[in-house]
Amino acid sequence: MFGGGSIPLIRVFGIRIGVDVSWFIVLFLIIYSLSSYYEDVVPGSNAFVLATVSALLFFVSILLHELGHALVAIRNGIPILGIDLMMFGGVAKLGRDTDSPGVEFRVAVAGPVVTVVIAAACFGAGAAISDADRVFESSTFDDTTVGAATAVLGYLASINLLVLVFNLIPGFPLDGGRIARAIAWKVTGNRNKATRFAAVLGRGFGWLLIAAGVALFFSGADTVGGIWFAFIGFFIAQAARSATEQANFSDRIGGIRVADVMDADPVAIPENFIVDDADGEFFRRYGYPWFPVVDASGRLVGVVSREAVDSVPELERTRRSVATVMARDDGGSGLRVGLEEPLESLLAQESLARLGAIMAVDGDGVLRGIVTLDAVRRALRGAVAI
């Protein structure tokens, strides 16, 4: 009910981890390219197995990088909707945007810090079982023959160092661009101006990558690499352009808050309500596909759907409470938003599109209203018409 568009894998620290279909394509390409490399530097070994292990460990590194962002965001009160691994690495999907330059900086820098630790640990482990020179040779993809473990650790050290350098380029939406946005935000005091500044850097870097890719392709020096560079550059340039458009639009709707567009008279089911009674008094009466669920103090604790109620066996419907069949809100499910949050914070909420509404709560978590997708659309149309 609350999953994203990616294929779910596992949960880590309660965070949903999923993979995009494009991830499998990149996984195959990495394994394919590393197999020939390991045949040269680790003769007599099973190059395919080493390549597969290396590729999977690389994506574990990417996952740890994104978990760094996610855990720091959670520590700063920002819910995480999940982490998706995809063609270009990974993304930690924040339930809302950061609310200060300091939080933006901490969340942005957390991933690169994790990557530094991983690269250093791999290099250190390789040096411990071999020696630093051979690990360095392996990490630079030198054709010098080394042991299997040294070759894998050298690869992981080098690829994480490459990820670090690439991510620290000061262009939005890369981590370096988010760090640049945090600094510009601190200086100007305006998040949208800072976003536009970082997005200009991002578009510039994207076009540089495209130009480099075109040059590599037509020179014949690296045809595949040229296509890849141009593809990544286009993706970054487009993402930066979207960020600029969103910042411009945010200026127009900046004065509208969640409390301004919500229905302040929400219909909610108490968590101790018997399933059979909830069916008759709420689902049959109102005809809604789901309802928010609250505790005795009115605090939002979850959402119960028609499907969940119908799944309860007939003999148990008069004994089981709604709390036993609801989808529990753990604060990071994306089901809730604060009353004073800006309207723009709703635009990234997956549950708004998935459920058609999102619950508005006060500082104590008490349900105060429901914001429907139609209400948001009306408010946005009104802002555009101004």
Tell me whether the omega of the peptide bond preceding residue 8 falls within 30 degrees of 0, making it cis. Answer: no
Q: Which residues are catalytic?
A: 66
Instruction: List all residues 6 or more positions away from 160 whose beta carbon is below 8 Å from its beta carbon.
Output: 58, 61, 115, 118, 119, 122
Distance of CA 235 to the CA centre of its chain: 16
Do the beta carbons of residue 169 and residue 176 sit within 8 Å? yes
User: Which runs of consecutive H residues, i.e. helices, occur in 146-190?
Assistant: 148-167, 175-188
Closest by CA to 271, choosing from 318, 322, 330, 316, is: 322
Rounded distance, CA 318 to CA 273, Å? 10
User: Could you tell me the two tokens for 306?
Assistant: 């028609």
The secondary structure of 293-347 as a DSSP string is: EE-TT-BEEEEEEHHHHHTS-GGGTTT-BGGGTSEE--SSSS-EEETTSBGGGGG
Q: How many CB atoms lie within 10 A of CB 111?
A: 27
DSSP state of 299: B
* Local structure of 99: helix, strand or coil: coil
Burial group, residue 263, by CB count within 10 angstroms (0-12, 13-18, 19+): middle
Rounded distance, CA 10 to CA 370, Å? 31
Do the beta carbons of residue 292 and residue 328 sit within 8 Å? no
What values do phi and psi take at 269, rounded to 5? -105, 130
Q: How many CB atoms lie within 10 A of CB 59?
A: 17
